C-alpha cells in the first residue's frame, strides 16, 4: 500500500485508547499538579504558554501535562487540523522519514504512529505501507491531540510579547483576543516561525504576480501550459515542480546552482542515541563542525520526489546554473543565469527559511536582545563563518534564549526556542520527527526545574507545614533507658 488506505476500524482505535489509558494509569501519569498558582493584578497567570500546535507544540504540551504542569495552553494561528505544513505547503506525497519512527510518542508505545495505524488497519496493512502519506501523518497528529485531551486553541495568533514584572505578558489575536500572563513561553513556531521565508536578493522588488516562495499558497491550476522555473534542489523544489507538472505545467526547469546534486543524507546516516543525547553536550567547536559539514554537503531531495519530476518529459534539470538577475517583462520573466538568458511565465523559489527574528512583528520586543552565535559563541578557529549559523540563537540547556546584554531583557530566560532554530545549540531534537520526544523531555525538564526553583520558599513551607503522620505513635513503647536498668541490677 502506498498512498491510499482502506477504511479504518473504529473498534481497534477504541481498544488502543483503552490501552493507552491503562499504560498511563500503571505509570501514574499524568503526575499530580504541583505548581503553585501565580497571579498578575488579580488575574491568574499561566505556568506555560506554548505558541504553535504543530508536532513540537503538541509534544511539549503533552510532556508538560504528564509532568503535572497542567496550567498550560497552546495557541495556533491555523484552524484546528491544519497546523504545520502537512495540508498546506507540504507538496510531497509521503513523509521522507521511515514509518517506524516513534516520533512524539514520549516513550509510550500506544501513542506511536505505528500503534495508531495498526489499531485501525491491521498488521498486514502495516507491512504493506511504504512511507507515511502526509495526510495520514496529519490525521495521526489530530488523534494525538484528541486522545491526550491537550489544551489547544486555534485561530489565535500571538502578536506581541512584553515583560510584566516577573511574568511575561502576551497579546493574542483571533478567535480569542486580549492580554494574558505566563511564567514561561515556548515558541514552537516551526521552520518559518522565528523568521520567515528566505527570499533571495535577485527577487527583491520583482512583482509577486510572477513568482512565489515554495511555502506560499500557489494556484497550480493557473500554471497549466505555462513555462515554470523552480529554483533550488531540495525536497521542496522537487515537490513543487512535481505538483506543477501534475497540474499540467507546459515546461518546468529546475535551476540549480550546485554543480552536482547532493546524493547522501549525511546526518540521517549517523543517527543514534549518541547523536540525539550527546550532541548538545559537545564543545561548541564540535557542534559547529557537524552543522557546518551538514550545511556544506546538503540534504538531497528524496529519490521518490526527484523521480516524480524527472518522469515528465517536459521537466529539465540545469545544474551549475546560478541566477544572476531576474527581470520583469511584459509577458513574464527574463532570468539571466550563469548558463545564459531564459524566459519564463512564473518562478517558484524553493529557497528555504530564515531565522531572522527581526522580520516578525510578534518578536519586536525581544529580537534586538536575543544573543546569537555571532555574539561571542563563534570563534574563527571553529570553521568558516557561515551566515545562517552565526544568526542561530545561542540557547541555554532548556532551549531558553540568552540576553545579548545581561539585564536588558530578563524575560528571555523564560522564553524557550523550541523549533528548528535551536539546532546548532541542541542538535536535531526540536524540528524533525525522529528525536522530538527527546527534545520535549529536555525542554520540560528545564521548565520543571525552573518552576520548582522559583517557588522554592513555598515548597519549603509546604515541607515544614506538612503534618500528616505516617506513624500514629502507638506502634512501639519507649523502653527504660539502659543506664537506669544497670543501676537497678
Ligand X SMILES: Cc1cc2nc3c(=O)[nH]c(=O)nc-3n(C[C@H](O)[C@H](O)[C@H](O)COP(=O)(O)OP(=O)(O)OC[C@H]3O[C@@H](n4cnc5c(N)ncnc54)[C@H](O)[C@@H]3O)c2cc1C
Least CB distance from residue 343 to ligand X, whole Å? 29
| Buried residues in 164-185 as b, exposed as e (16+ CB within 10 A) | beebbbbebbeeeeeebbbbbb
- Choices 54-62, 115-123, 308-316, 384-392; region in contact with ligand X by CB under 6 A: 54-62
Separation of alpha carbons 247 and 225, rounded Å: 9
Phi, psi of 488 (to 5 degrees): -85, -10
- Choices 36-44, 50-58, 113-121, 373-381; region in contact with ligand X by CB under 6 A: 50-58
Identify residues 96-115 at the interface with ligand X (CB under 6 A).
96-97
C-alpha cell at 448: 520543571
SS3 percent helix, strand, coil of the chain, rounded to 5, is 40, 20, 40
Q: Is 189 in the site for ligand X (CB under 6 A)?
A: yes
Separation of alpha carbons 229 and 203, rounded Å: 13
Least CB distance from residue 190 to ligand X, whole Å? 3
Among 56, 110, 242, 382, binds ligand X (CB under 6 A): 56
Phi, psi of 100 (to 5 degrees): -85, -5
Least CB distance from residue 86 to ligand X, whole Å? 7
Q: Is 393 in the site for ligand X (CB under 6 A)?
A: no
**CB-nearer residue toward ligand X: 183 or 428:** 428
What is the DSSP secondary-structure string of 190-232?
-TTSSSEE---GGGTTS-GGGEEETTS---GGGGBT-EEEEE-
C-alpha cell at 317: 534539470
Torsion over CA: 278, 279, 280, 281 (sign): positive
Identify residues 353-372 at the interface with ligand X (CB under 6 A).
362
Among 46, 432, 442, 443, binds ligand X (CB under 6 A): 432
Least CB distance from residue 131 to ligand X, whole Å? 8
Identify residues 123-182 at the interface with ligand X (CB under 6 A).
157-158
Phi, psi of 11 (to 5 degrees): -65, -35
Separation of alpha carbons 62 and 144, rounded Å: 9
Q: Is 427 in the site for ligand X (CB under 6 A)?
A: no
Least CB distance from residue 419 to ligand X, whole Å? 5
- Choices 49-57, 378-386, 455-463, 476-484; region in contact with ligand X by CB under 6 A: 49-57
Separation of alpha carbons 309 and 89, rounded Å: 17
**CB-nearer residue toward ligand X: 75 or 346:** 75
Among 104, 190, 232, 234, binds ligand X (CB under 6 A): 190
- Looking up cell 528571555, which residue turns up? 412
Least CB distance from residue 52 to ligand X, whole Å? 3
Q: Any residues with CB less than 8 A from the CB of 137 and at least 6 apart, and which?
A: 86, 95, 113
Size of the site for ligand X (CB under 6 A): 31
**CB-nearer residue toward ligand X: 84 or 151:** 84
Quick check: 243 and 305 in contact, CB under 8 A? no
Among 419, 425, 437, 448, binds ligand X (CB under 6 A): 419
Identify residues 212-241 at the interface with ligand X (CB under 6 A).
236
Least CB distance from residue 427 to ligand X, whole Å? 14
C-alpha cell at 478: 519507649
Q: Is 395 in the site for ligand X (CB under 6 A)?
A: no
**CB-nearer residue toward ligand X: 198 or 334:** 198
Query: Binding marks (x or -) toward ligand X, 239..258, rule CB under 6 A?
Result: --------------------
Quick check: 424 and 287 in contact, CB under 8 A? yes
Least CB distance from residue 470 to ligand X, whole Å? 45
Q: Is 183 in the site for ligand X (CB under 6 A)?
A: no
Query: Binding marks (x or -) toward ligand X, 58..97, rule CB under 6 A?
Result: -----------------xxxx----xxx----x----xxx
Q: Is 52 in the site for ligand X (CB under 6 A)?
A: yes
Q: Report which of 178, 64, 52 is spatially closest to residue 450, judged by C-alpha positions.
A: 64
**CB-nearer residue toward ligand X: 309 or 326:** 309
Q: Any residues with CB less than 8 A from the CB of 479 and at least 6 apart, and which?
A: none
Least CB distance from residue 154 to ligand X, whole Å? 9
Q: Report which of 56, 111, 52, 50 is spatially closest to residue 432, judged by C-alpha positions.
A: 56
- Residues engaged in binding ligand X (CB under 6 A): 51-52, 54-57, 75-78, 83-85, 90, 95-97, 157-158, 188-191, 193, 236, 362, 419, 431-434
Amino acid at each position: 500500500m502506498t498512498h491510499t488506505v482502506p477504511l479504518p476500524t473504529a473498534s481497534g482505535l477504541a481498544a488502543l485508547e483503552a490501552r493507552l489509558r491503562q499504560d498511563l494509569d500503571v505509570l501514574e501519569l499524568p503526575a499530580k499538579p504541583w505548581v503553585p498558582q501565580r497571579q498578575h493584578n488579580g488575574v491568574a497567570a499561566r505556568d506555560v504558554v506554548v505558541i504553535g500546535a504543530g508536532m513540537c507544540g503538541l509534544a511539549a504540551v503533552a510532556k508538560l501535562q504528564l509532568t503535572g504542569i497542567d496550567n498550560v495552553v497552546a495557541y495556533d494561528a491555523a484552524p484546528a487540523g491544519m497546523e504545520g505544513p502537512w495540508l498546506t505547503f507540504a507538496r510531497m506525497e509521503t513523509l521522507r522519514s521511515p514509518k517506524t519512527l516513534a516520533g512524539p510518542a514520549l516513550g509510550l508505545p500506544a501513542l506511536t504512529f505505528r500503534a495508531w495505524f495498526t489499531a485501525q488497519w491491521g498488521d498486514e496493512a502495516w507491512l504493506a505501507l511504504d512511507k507515511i502519506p502526509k495526510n495520514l501523518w496529519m490525521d495521526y497528529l489530530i488523534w494525538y491531540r484528541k486522545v491526550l485531551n491537550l489544551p489547544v486553541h486555534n485561530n489565535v495568533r500571538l502578536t506581541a510579547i512584553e515583560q510584566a514584572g516577573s511574568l511575561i505578558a502576551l497579546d493574542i489575536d483571533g478567535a480569542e483576543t486580549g492580554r494574558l500572563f505566563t511564567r514561561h513561553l515556548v515558541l514552537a513556531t516551526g521552520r518559518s516561525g522565528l523568521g520567515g521565508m528566505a527570499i533571495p536578493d535577485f527577487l527583491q522588488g520583482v512583482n509577486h504576480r510572477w513568482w512565489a516562495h515554495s511555502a506560499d499558497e500557489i494556484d497550480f491550476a493557473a500554471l497549466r501550459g505555462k513555462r515554470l522555473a523552480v529554483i533550488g534542489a531540495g525536497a521542496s523544489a522537487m515537490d513543487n515542480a512535481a505538483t506543477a507538472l501534475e497540474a499540467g505545467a507546459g515546461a518546468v526547469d529546475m535551476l540549480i546552482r550546485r554543480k552536482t546534486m547532493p546524493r547522501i543524507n549525511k546526518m540521517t546516516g549517523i543517527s543514534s542515541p549518541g547523536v540525539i543525547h550527546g550532541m548538545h553536550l559537545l564543545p561548541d567547536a564540535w557542534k559547529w563542525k557537524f552543522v557546518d559539514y551538514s550545511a556544506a554537503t546538503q540534504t538531497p531531495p528524496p529519490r521518490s520526489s526527484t523521480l516524480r519530476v524527472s518522469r515528465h518529459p517536459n521537466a529539465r534539470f540545469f545544474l551549475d546554473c546560478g541566477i544572476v538577475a531576474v527581470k520583469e517583462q511584459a509577458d513574464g520573466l527574463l532570468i539571466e543565469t550563469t548558463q545564459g538568458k531564459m524566459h519564463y511565465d512564473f518562478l517558484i523559489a524553493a529557497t528555504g527559511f530564515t531565522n531572522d527574528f527581526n522580520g516578525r512583528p510578534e518578536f519586536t520586543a525581544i529580537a534586538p536582545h536575543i544573543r546569537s552565535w555571532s555574539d561571542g559563541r563563534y570563534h574563527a578557529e571553529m570553521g568558516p563563518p557561515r551566515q545562517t549559523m552565526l544568526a542561530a540563537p545561542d540557547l541555554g540547556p532548556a532551549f531558553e534564549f540568552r540576553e545579548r546584554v545581561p539585564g536588558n531583557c530578563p524575560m528571555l530566560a523564560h522564553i524557550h526556542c523550541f523549533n528548528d532554530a535551536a539546532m546548532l545549540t541542541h542538535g536535531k531534537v526540536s524540528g524533525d520527527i525522529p528525536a522530538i520526544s527527546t527534545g520535549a523531555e529536555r525542554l520540560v525538564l528545564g521548565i520543571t526545574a525552573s518552576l520548582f526553583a522559583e517557588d522554592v520558599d513555598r515548597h519549603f513551607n509546604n515541607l515544614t507545614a506538612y503534618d500528616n503522620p505516617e506513624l500514629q505513635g502507638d506502634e512501639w513503647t519507649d523502653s527504660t533507658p539502659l543506664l537506669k536498668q544497670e543501676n537497678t541490677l
